[in-house]
């Protein structure tokens, strides 16, 4: 006889605590009991054991220490770039500040006003055409500069000298608060003439080409730093910022004596480190957990062999991992009666949004799942197919959540604070119905027993956080 506890405790990676759907004669059944055994078996390589996660934490810690070391930084896969942000918001910052948030196919410009018990934010989203994403750097920064100047004119602040925080959410080696060299493009960008260049300088030059001299570009930061700063404005206990969206990255507060390349203010004990952990695994340290689907995605990416950790977690790739699994299982006649639709066969057709939608279905219906199937030309799917596909989505998203949790636990244990707030932002974390709970549960298992932690959703971290960095930087001058 199987009890409710048996359901909750069975193989980690397959069940949620709220997944019990049937009770009969004092025996409990989980919805995963109705998933085809052949699908369960075919998905086993996506399930990470606690022992595997322990090994991953050990390897990530080693990679982080290599990034912090002067001797090994150049060859390190996890670069641990110095942000030069050493002051967190005090809550006393006042004035108007601009923020520019570039990190995906769209970018945002924000005007933020900070006052006593007052916060006001106006923003606008601008698109970046595909031709610009893969064109020249000059075209990219000219486009951004034009949009920025149009925005400040629309807001009536064109003649005001306003500090601007620039969130640049790509791997970037900072040489100071206002100087950052692009290490490599990610997220589908491949603009020429930018890698190795100072992106702050490129933006300033683009603004100068338009005759602007009013914008004071006083800080460049990563979106993880913005997330940390945004949460720290409300909760000074914030020590970590994590993004789980189109990409995946983390920053954390490190003691300056542990940062061998640091050449800033040693009178302040800490500095925020942008880990760039998305590149973890580029040296082969994740090869033993990569599946055939991960390897195919990497081979067909714009940056094969790089950003491995990001590729098995982030929203840019999660839906495609599921699609590759569905195509394989359908060809093996484990799904959809062996009938693969043209849409399902099309790369990128299974959006990461679909993963969240399917997992959002009530336990005993498949409304959203069938809407997705209709979009993909799979209207012939059976209820059994729906159960199987939901299970596949859960396996893929749970692996991602557990990997992020392993990373977060690594940072928490390394910092050795008794209490830590983790600021998190990004579309996957925000919209997936179980990601937060999965992280809380798994981090709890992996952190030191004396540590208390909580996870805080960042409110517009990469935008508000950029303005706060600008505010802190300008107010401390």
Q: How many CA atoms lie within 13 A of 178 on its CB side?
A: 11
The residue written with tokens 């098995």 in the block is 312
Specify burial of residue 83 (Cβ count, 10 A radius: 0-12, 13-18, 19+): buried
167 DSSP β-pair partners:
101, 221
Residue 223 falls in the annotated catalytic set: yes
Choosing from 101, 223, 361, 385, the catalytic residue is 223
The Cα–Cα gap between 451 and 438 comes to 18
The Cα–Cα gap between 326 and 258 comes to 46
DSSP characters over 216-255: EEEEEE-HHHHHHHHHHHH-TTEEEEEEESSSEEEEEEEE
Q: How many helices (H) and strands (E) does the chain have?
A: 16, 15
C-beta neighbour count of 244 within 10 angstroms: 27
DSSP E strands in 67-214: the ranges are 81-82, 95-102, 106-115, 118-127, 162-168, 172-176, 179-182
Tokens coding 410: 């690594």
Helix (H) or strand (E) holding 29: strand 27-30
The Cα–Cα gap between 170 and 221 comes to 10
Alpha-carbon distances of 368 from 254, 315, 437, rounded to whole Å: 44, 19, 21
Residue 187 falls in the annotated catalytic set: yes
Catalytic residues: 187, 223
């Amino acid at each position: 006889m199987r009890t409710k506890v048996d359901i909750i405790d069975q193989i980690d990676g397959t069940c949620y605590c709220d997944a019990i759907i049937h009770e009969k004669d004092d025996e409990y059944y989980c919805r995963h009991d109705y998933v085809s055994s052949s699908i369960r078996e075919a998905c086993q390589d996506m399930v990470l054991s606690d022992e595997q996660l322990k090994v991953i934490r050990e390897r990530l810690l080693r990679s982080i220490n290599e990034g912090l070391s002067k001797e090994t930084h150049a060859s390190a896969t996890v670069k641990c770039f110095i942000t030069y942000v050493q002051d967190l918001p005090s809550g006393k910052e006042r004035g108007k500040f601009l923020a520019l948030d570039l990190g995906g196919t769209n970018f945002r410009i924000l005007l933020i006003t900070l006052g006593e018990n007052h916060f006001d934010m106006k923003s606008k989203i601008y698109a970046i055409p595909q031709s610009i994403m893969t064109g020249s750097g000059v075209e990219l920064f000219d486009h951004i500069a034009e949009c920025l100047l149009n925005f400040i004119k629309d807001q009536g602040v064109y003649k005001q000298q306003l500090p601007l925080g620039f969130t640049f959410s790509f791997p970037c080696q900072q040489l100071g608060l206002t100087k950052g060299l692009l290490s490599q493009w990610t997220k589908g960008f491949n603009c020429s003439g930018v890698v190795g260049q100072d992106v702050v300088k490129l933006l300033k030059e683009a603004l100068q080409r338009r005759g602007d001299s009013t914008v004071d570009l006083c800080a460049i930061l990563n979106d993880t730093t913005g997330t940390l700063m945004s949460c720290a404005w409300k909760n000074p206990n914030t020590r970590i910022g994590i993004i789980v969206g189109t990409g995946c990255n983390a920053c954390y507060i490190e003691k300056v004596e542990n940062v061998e390349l640091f050449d800033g203010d040693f009178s302040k004990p800490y500095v925020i480190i942008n880990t760039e952990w998305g590149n973890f695994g580029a040296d082969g340290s994740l090869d033993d957990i990569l599946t055939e689907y991960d390897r195919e995605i990497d081979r067909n990416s714009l940056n094969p062999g790089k950003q491995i950790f990001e590729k098995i977690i982030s929203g840019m790739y999660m839906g495609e991992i599921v699609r590759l699994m569905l195509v394989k299982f359908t060809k093996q006649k484990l799904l959809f009666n062996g009938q693969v639709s043209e849409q399902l066969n099309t790369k990128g057709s299974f959006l990461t949004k679909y993963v969240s939608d399917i997992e959002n279905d009530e336990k005993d219906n498949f409304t959203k799942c069938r809407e997705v199937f209709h979009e993909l030309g799979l209207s012939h799917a059976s209820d059994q197919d729906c159960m199987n596909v939901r299970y596949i989505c859960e396996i893929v998203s749970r692996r991602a959540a557990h990997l992020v949790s392993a990373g977060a636990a690594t940072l928490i244990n390394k910092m050795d604070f008794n209490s830590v707030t983790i600021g998190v932002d990004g579309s996957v974390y925000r919209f997936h119905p179980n990601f937060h709970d999965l992280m809380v549960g798994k981090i709890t298992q992996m952190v030191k027993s004396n540590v208390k932690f909580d996870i805080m959703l960042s409110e517009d971290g990469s935008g508000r956080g950029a303005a706060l960095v600008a505010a802190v930087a300008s107010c401390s001058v």
